[in-house]
Chains A and B, each alone.
Chain A
Amino acid sequence: MYKVRRWVVRHSQAFETIYNWLEQGLVKLHPVMQKIGYQRLEKPVAIFEKLCKGLLFDCKMCGDCALSATGMSCSMNCPKNIRNGPCGGVRQNGNCEVQPEMRCVWMDAWQGSQSMRAGKQIHAVQLPVDHTLQGSSAWLRKVREVVVKQEQSSK
């Protein structure tokens, strides 16, 4: 929902904290999830994730989530799907060139990132979206990434 996602951006710092907790919690659950099998978890978790993130961020389930680097404003809501915005077409009132009634997703991203502790991530260049991940759970993917990183650093 448009209003909810704008509200989230205004509270980006709180959502950053919640997201960090969520990540830590899920990483702790890794041994359990591994036992159940990620493959088996994929579908139910993706449905749950879609519900939560759909409500909060108007998530499009690209599966390649970059919310923490975009001020908690989902860049897939940009009509041009720009992962490194804002484009040069932003109207003088800060609205989108394609949808004049909508606030530019990247205006929000810049605003949101400024109150986040890891807000500097907005300056990193985002690589092209991996479209094979469409519809899959970004949370489960992230957990596995973090676990792999932890294992590598402990070696």
Chain B
Amino acid sequence: MIFHDEPTPGEMLPILEGHTSAGRLERVLRAGLFAVTSELSPPDSADPQEVYDRAQIFDGFVDGMNATDGSGANCHMSSVGMCALLTRIGYAPIMQISCRDRNRIAIQGDVLGGAAMGVTNMLCLTGDGVQAGDHPQAKAVFDLDCMSLLETIRGMRDKGEFLSGRRISTPPKVFLGAASNPFAPPHDFRPYRLAKKIAAGAQFIQTNYCFDVPRFKEFMARSRDLGLLEKVFILPGVGPMASAKTATWIRNNVPGIHIPDTVITRLAGAKDQKREGQKLCVELIQQLSEIEGVSGIHVMAYRQEEAVADIIKCSGVLQGRTPWYPGRDQQRLQESYKT
């Protein structure tokens, strides 16, 4: 028996009215439900099972998984490769596209390839500079930037054209996302930049780690004043910090991450720092979910992926909902036979 929202791998769900993609993430967000997404870090391996194992950890707790594209300018399995594996068994990944490693010819090709495999969500990023990663000797491409990338994919989808103006016979029906960092200067320009991203085609936004709630509230209030909150779904980013030392290292070494001193002192003062980091993460999710205009949460739990399920459960944001995962409905069916 197949339930109404159970996908058959390789077959697309119908596109609902007013939607741009067939994806579940767009369906959840447009239905007004609180969405949860998480970061799926790619393996340094050619073994598909490693991707499936990493994805399975989030089963039943997330509406989408970000397949990262060389995040931090480090080399891993490609985003397209991960998406190919994930869509095979019905997962709905968010394919990240960074402008650092590929030019407009390669990127547009990947967009078509991704959409053909069943990728319904794409997140447009500029990407970290090559100096941040393990191959600082590499040539950085940056032919497009996040904004022109959004424009490009929107043009492919809505006009059915490549950047060159050449026709695309079946356009990629994707839900377009972008990143935002309300915590990096110039703070007063950030809401305007969000407006630019929306103008360029962004439909949902995932932010960088959000530890500074007052700053985020201010960003959201300014965005509301600009009338942006009705036009976009915003999913602030959160994540557990393993210890005060990790948090300090991340603050000093990872571009664009702002962690206030209060967070570090709180972690340093705790007996079990890892546990405290997770507790703080739950609290942040609860606080952020109360803010007007927040449509969901994006969890980045690098090397603590196994803690995500617990964090989401404790925060209560899913309100009893179980997002689809391969095998969810068969499991329910078996349970109903037993009873």
Contact = CB atoms under 8 A, between A and B. Distances in A.
Given A94-B185, A97-B256, A123-B192, A83 B129 contact: no
A76 B34 CA distance: 40
A4 interface: no
Given A84-B145, A86-B184, A98 B208 contact: no
Contacts of B256: 87-90, 97
A79 interface: yes
Interface string B98-132: 01100010000000000000000000001111011
B250 to A, nearest CB: 13
A36 interface: no
B179 interface: yes
Interface string A71-100: 000000001111111111111101001100
Interface in B162-186: 163, 179-181, 184-186
- Range for the number of chain B residues in contact with chain A: 35 or more
B145 A82 contact: yes
Contact of A98 (B129, B146, B180, B184): B129
A139 interface: no
Interface residues of A, number: 29
B196 interface: yes
Contacts of B196: 84, 123, 125
Contact of A125 (B126, B131, B184, B200): B200
A31 interface: no
Q: Which one of B140, B144, B146, B184 has the highest number of Cβ atoms from chain A below 10 Å of its Cβ? A: B184
14 contacts: A80-B99, A80-B100, A80-B140, A80-B145, A83-B147, A84-B193, A84-B200, A87-B256, A88-B256, A97-B255, A125-B196, A128-B143, A128-B148, A129-B143
Interface of A: 79-92, 94, 97-98, 104, 107, 110-111, 122-123, 125-129, 131
Interface of B: 99-100, 104, 126-129, 131-132, 140, 142-148, 151-152, 163, 179-181, 184-186, 188-189, 192-193, 195-196, 199-200, 208, 255-256, 258
Q: Sort A-B residue pairs by CB-CB distance and give the 3 closest, nearest first.
A: A88-B181, A84-B147, A89-B255
